[in-house]
Structure formats: C-alpha cells, structure tokens
Amino acid sequence: MPVTESAVLEALSHVQEPELGGDLVTRNMIRDLRIDGATVAFQIELTTPACPLKDEIESRVHKALDPIGVESIELTWGASVRRATPRTAEQLLPNVKNVIAVASGKGGVGKSTVSVNLAVALARDGAKVGLLDADITGPNIPLMLGLEGQPGKSGDNKIAPMTRHGVKAISIQFFVPAGQPIIWRGPLVGGAITQFLRDVDWGDLDYLVVDLPPGTSDAQLTLAQAVPISGAVLVTTPQEVSLLDVEKALAMFKRLSVPVLGLVENMTALACPHCGEMIELFGRGGGERFAREHDLELLGGIPLDITVRQGGDVGVPAVAQREPGPAAQAFTTIARTIAARMSVRAAQGAGQPVLTVS
C-alpha cells in the first residue's frame, strides 16, 4: 500500500510529546510534510531548540511510522520559544521572551560560572540568548566570556551588547578601567541595572540570563520590579553554610512572587585524577536534601572540574571547549532541563494542557 499523507498524520497523532503531553498533530508540531514513495520528510516544531527529549521524540516517530510502510524518515527540527510570563509592549524588554535570574545566597558558589555556561549552552542549541551581568560591584562575565573593549551604539542610539560564543552580553566592566573598584550605594546599583534593561539593544531574544550578585538586596529588587522574571535558578554548594544562605534567596523570590525553577548544586564532588574515586570536598547530598525539604526540583549537580576553572580564566566556558570535561555535559543537561521547564510554564500560561506521559 502506498504511503499517504492522511496515513502519516494518523500515525503521528499517536505520538505523544513527552514533556507537555498531547500528540504532535494536535499540538500543530508537524510542518512541511512531504512524501516521496516510502520516504517521508517533515519538520517537528519544538517549543525550545534546547529540548532535552529530541531523541525520545524521534524514537517514538520511527515506531509510529514503521508499521505503515515508511522506509526512510528525513526529520528536521524547528523551534518557536514562547513566553513563560506575560509581558506588555509598555514594559521593559518587550522583545525578550523569557528572563531567567541566576541567584545564590552567598558568594563563591559559582553562580557566574553557572550563568555563563547556561547561556552559552542554550545558544549552542540554537536559542537566541543574552547575558546581563547584574553583579555591579563584582563583574566577572567579560573575563569568563573572553570579551574586551567597549560596546558601540546600535542604529537607534542604544548600547549594542558585545557578542561571544553566540551570546549577547553587557556588563559594567565594559565601562570602567581594569582594576578600578565600583564603590556605589544601592540606588546607583539599581539604576545601572535599569539602564542595562532599558538602554541596551537586546533585539529579539528567547532567553535573557541575568547573573545576580549574591544576597537579597537592591539588584534583586530592581530586577523583579522592572521586568517579569520567568523563573529563578538557585545555585548552592553542598555544605551547610551555603544552604543556609540559599534558603534566604528562596524566601526572597517567594515574597516577590517569582517562580523558582529549581536548584543547581555546584562543586558536588571531585574525581581523583589517579584512581577516579569521587571525593566530596564540600559534603554530600546537601542540595538534594534542601530541594526535597523545600519542594524544589534539583536541576543537577556540577562536579569539580579543572576545565571549568581553566576556561573561565581564558574566556572559553566549559560547554564551548573543544575537549569538554565532565562538568560540560552537566551544564548542558541543566540548561536543557531549564528550557523544558520554561516551555511547560509557557504552555500552562497559554491554557494548554500539560500532562505527564510515560
């Protein structure tokens, strides 16, 4: 029997979207369907290019189409990222679909490292990504991305962000001499963040990652009041002193009605270079226990990896290195998990059903 369009669509109507639920046809995810004998070509339109379940979807597609005589499948992927939080044109960043705040309770837990690798991982998967360095008094993003110099002006006389590794970035460090301290009171810090939101030509972005300073003060309040934050990612290390402070950050976001996407545990363990044994320098299971006690998702753990430090010092993040270490895969997996959670939130906000499908 010849393969027909109706037969293909009928078969694909039984393929469930693993994250959102519902089938590919009902969700209007099948595009540009073409049939040539027993060869079928089409595109699946995802809700994020960083979808972590592409392999699962492709496997289900093959299982559905094999019984109807399809011998070859030419599958391509597209993506259309949706807003997880409604935004009006009058608000700042009308062309930015999702703002992701990366925060911690205390310094030194690797929050900026997570921000940079999250942004670059999303960009490498095909998303349009920006990175705002909101740590005004301790900016590190330019060094970690390998950016130098000063931004120029865009066509509409706004600040043009600098681009590296596919990510548009802005930082106060671009505008001050190297080594000069920024000794500002809170209102000036808030004003700088507002200016970066208002006066930078971000263009159309799927995700704007905001690297917040540690603590619960002016920068966090300014961001929450200036733009709808689609979700916050909390970063901690396993030891108790870090967990004590990240609990305060969690309470702050709850008070500000900002949804928390989950927790990232950094510096989880070190693999011994001689025997391969995992050495838990900062304790064990702290992040998992905290997530369980506070009904949070543990987005993943990042092992201690020398390539992360080396890359951060020379402007090549772990996920962008030619020979990535063990932390790179963890960063990529976490980035895709965050993107998937944002897609679910967007579907919920649009009134679409979100089902758990096995």
Question: 3-state SS string over the chain?
Answer: CCCCHHHHHHHHCCCECCCCCCECCCCCCEEEEEEECCEEEEEEEECCCCCCCHHHHHHHHHHHHHHHCCCEEEEEEEECCCCCCCCCCCCCCCCECCEEEEECCCCCCCHHHHHHHHHHHHHHCCCCEEEEECCCCCCCHHHHHCCCCCCCECCCCCECCEEECCEEEECHHHHCCCCCCCCCCHHHHHHHHHHHHHCECCCCECEEEEECCCCCCHHHHHHHHHCCCCEEEEEECCCHHHHHHHHHHHHHHHHCCCCEEEEEEEEEEEECCCCCCEECCCCCCHHHHHHHHCCCCEEEEEEECHHHHHHHHHCCCHHHCCCCCHHHHHHHHHHHHHHHHHHHHHHHHCCCCCCCCC
Is position 353 within any domain?
no
Residues 124, 46: one domain? no
- Cα separation, 222 vs 236, in Å, equals 22
CB 29 within 8 A of CB 17: yes
Q: Which two tokens stand for residue 335?
A: 């980035």
In terms of domains, do 131 and 254 share one?
A: yes
Domain that holds residue 112: 99-347
Q: Are residues 142 and 26 in the same domain?
A: no
pLDDT in tens, 31-68: 999 999 999 999 999 999 999 999 999 999 999 999 99
Q: Which tens digits make up the pLDDT trace of 228-260?
A: 999 999 999 988 888 899 999 999 999 999 999
Give the pLDDT confidence of 12-25 residue by residue, as tens digits: 999 999 888 889 99
Specify the pTM. Answer: 0.91
In terms of domains, do 307 and 342 share one? yes
What would the two tokens of residue 298 be?
């543990």
- Please tell me the predicted confidence (pLDDT) of residue 280: 79
174/56 same-domain check? no
| Domain assignment present for 17 | yes
Whether 269 maps to a domain, the answer reads yes
Report d(CA 136, CA 184) in Å as an integer. 9
Residue 85 inside a domain? The answer is no
Say if residue 158 is in the same domain as residue 69.
no
**Least confident interval from 87-101, 115-129, 135-149, 325-339:** 87-101
Per-residue model confidence (pLDDT) at position 352: 44
| Block residue for tokens 């089409």 | 42
92 in a structural domain: no
Q: HSE, CB side, 13 Å, CA atoms: give it for residue 318.
A: 26
**Lookup: tokens for 60:** 């289900």
Q: Which two tokens stand for residue 131?
A: 């990175």
Last residue of a domain, one of 79, 113, 128: 79
On whether residue 84 sits in a domain, the answer given is no
Residue 87 forms part of a structural domain: no
Q: Are residues 135 and 255 in the same domain?
A: yes
Residue type present at position 80: S
pLDDT of 331 higher than 60: yes
- How many domains does the chain contain in total? 2
Q: Which two tokens stand for residue 126?
A: 């095909």
33 part of a folded domain: yes
> Which residues sit opposite 193 in a β-bridge?
none
- Domain harbouring 38, CATH code: 3.30.300.130
Alpha carbon distance 207, 341 (integer Å): 13
Kindly tell me if the per-residue pLDDT of 358 is higher than 80: no
> Exposed, middle or buried: residue 169 (CB in 10 Å: 0-12, 13-18, 19+)?
buried
247 and 336 both lie in a single domain:
yes
> Do residues 103 and 46 share a domain?
no
The C-alpha atoms of residue 219 and residue 232 are separated, in whole angstroms, by 14
Q: What are phi and psi of 103, to 5 degrees?
A: -140, 160
The confidence score (pLDDT) of residue 354 equals 40
Domain C-terminal end among 44, 79, 114: 79
**In a shared domain, residues 152 and 248:** yes
Same domain, 43 and 154: no
**Could you say which of 23, 48, 79 is where a domain stops?**
79
Burial 228-249 (b: 16+ CB within 10 A, else e): bbbbbbbbbbbbeebbebbbeb
Q: How confident is the model at residue 357 (pLDDT cuts 50, 70, 90)?
A: very low
Question: Residue range 106-111: average pLDDT?
Answer: 91
Within 10 angstroms of residue 159's Cβ, the number of other Cβ atoms is: 20
pLDDT tens across 124-162, in order?
A: 999 999 999 999 999 999 999 999 999 999 888 899 999
The CATH number for 277's domain is: 3.40.50.300
Does 125 lie in the same domain as 38? no
